[in-house]
Structure 1
Amino acid sequence: MLIELSIIFLSIALAVTIFLALCYFGLFETISVKTGESPYDFGGKKFIYKVYNANSASIGSNFTRLTTLLYPFKDATLVPVLITQPIGSKSTKSLLGVLFEHNNDKVEKMLLSIDYKIMTLPKVNHVVSATFTNKGSISVAIALKRVYPVITEYIKENKLCAYPSIEIYKGDVIYFLSPLSKQQDFFMNEVSSESSSDDGDSDGEQVCDDQYSRDPEDSDDDNEVPSTASSVASSSSFEQLIADDVSTTTKNVLLQFHATNQYILV
Structure 2
Amino acid sequence: MSDLTLLLLLVVLLVCLVVTIGGFLLYSGLLTDVTIKTGPPPIRNVTIAYKFREGAYKDCGAAFTESCSIGPKLETIAVFYDDPKQKCRYVVGSVLSEGRETPDEELQKLYEKFGFKVFSLPEVSHAVTTTFPCTTPLSYVLGAHRVYPRLASYIEERKLCAFPMIEICLSDVVNYMVPLSRQTGFFVPEMKEEMKTDVKEEDSDEDRGTDITKTSLAASTAASLASSLPLRDIMDANEDIKPRDQSDRGSNESMGSGSSFEELDMDQEDAVELMAEKNKPLGDGEE
Q: How far did 1:82 drift?
A: 0.6
Is the counterpart of residue 8 in structure 1 residue 11 in structure 2?
A: yes
Call closer, same or farther: CA 1:116–1:193 in 2, change over 3 Å.
farther
1:84·1:164 contact (CA, 8 Å) conserved in 2? yes
Name the structure 1 match of 2:46: 45
Correspondent of 1:81 among 54, 77, 101: 77
Call closer, same or farther: CA 1:7–1:55 in 2, change over 3 Å.
closer
How many residues of Structure 1 are paired with residues of Structure 2 in the alignment? 214
Separation in structure 2 between the aligned mates of residue 4 and residue 56 of structure 1, nearest angstrom: 45
Q: Where does 1:208-219 land on structure 2 (aligned, <5 Å)?
A: 208=233, 210-211=249-250
Name the structure 1 match of 2:68: 67
Separation in structure 2 between the aligned mates of residue 33 and residue 55 of structure 1, nearest angstrom: 26
Q: Where does 1:190-229 land on structure 2 (aligned, <5 Å)?
A: 190=190, 198=200, 207-208=232-233, 210-211=249-250, 222-223=261-262
What letter corresponds to residue 125 of structure 2 in structure 1? N
Per-residue displacement from partner, 1:37-68 (whole Å, max 9, x unpaired)? Answer: 12x12x22211112111546543222222222
SS at match of 1:159: coil
What letter corresponds to residue 5 of structure 2 in structure 1? L
Name the structure 2 match of 1:163: 163
Per-residue displacement from partner, 1:111-159 (whole Å, max 9, x unpaired)? Answer: 1233322222111111111111111211111111221111111111111
- Gaps in structure 1 of 5+ consecutive residues: 226-266
1:182·1:214 contact (CA, 8 Å) conserved in 2? no
Name the structure 2 match of 1:32: 35
SS at match of 1:65: helix
SS at match of 1:22: helix
1:85·1:91 contact (CA, 8 Å) conserved in 2? no
1:86·1:165 contact (CA, 8 Å) conserved in 2? no
What letter corresponds to residue 65 of structure 1 in structure 2? E
Separation in structure 2 between the aligned mates of residue 88 and residue 60 of structure 1, nearest angstrom: 16
2:38·2:127 contact (CA, 8 Å) conserved in 1? yes
Separation in structure 2 between the aligned mates of residue 66 and residue 60 of structure 1, nearest angstrom: 10
Separation in structure 1 between the aligned mates of residue 188 and residue 85 of structure 2, nearest angstrom: 15
Call closer, same or farther: CA 1:13–1:91 in 2, change over 3 Å.
closer
SS at match of 1:123: coil
Separation in structure 1 between the aligned mates of residue 171 and residue 30 of structure 2, nearest angstrom: 19
SS at match of 1:48: strand
What letter corresponds to residue 135 of structure 2 in structure 1? K
Call closer, same or farther: CA 1:140–1:58 in 2, change over 3 Å.
closer
Separation in structure 1 between the aligned mates of residue 253 and residue 76 of structure 2, nearest angstrom: 27
Q: How far did 1:193 drift?
A: 6.1
Separation in structure 2 between the aligned mates of residue 150 and residue 224 of structure 1, nearest angstrom: 16
Q: How far did 1:95 drift?
A: 1.8
Is the counterpart of residue 19 in structure 1 residue 15 in structure 2?
A: no
Separation in structure 2 between the aligned mates of residue 89 and residue 12 of structure 1, nearest angstrom: 41
What letter corresponds to residue 92 of structure 2 in structure 1? L
TM-score by length of 1: 0.68
Name the structure 2 match of 1:119: 119
Name the structure 2 match of 1:98: 94
2:48·2:120 contact (CA, 8 Å) conserved in 1? yes
Name the structure 1 match of 2:110: 110
Separation in structure 2 between the aligned mates of residue 7 and residue 92 of structure 1, nearest angstrom: 47
SS at match of 2:262: coil
Structure with larger Rg: 2
Is the counterpart of residue 150 in structure 1 residue 170 in structure 2?
A: no
What letter corresponds to residue 146 of structure 2 in structure 1? R
The one of the two structures with greater contact order (alpha-carbon pairs below 8 A, sep at least 6) is 1
Name the structure 2 match of 1:178: 178
Query: Once superposed, what is the RMSD of the aligned Cα atoms?
Result: 3.3
SS at match of 2:61: helix
What letter corresponds to residue 94 of structure 2 in structure 1? V
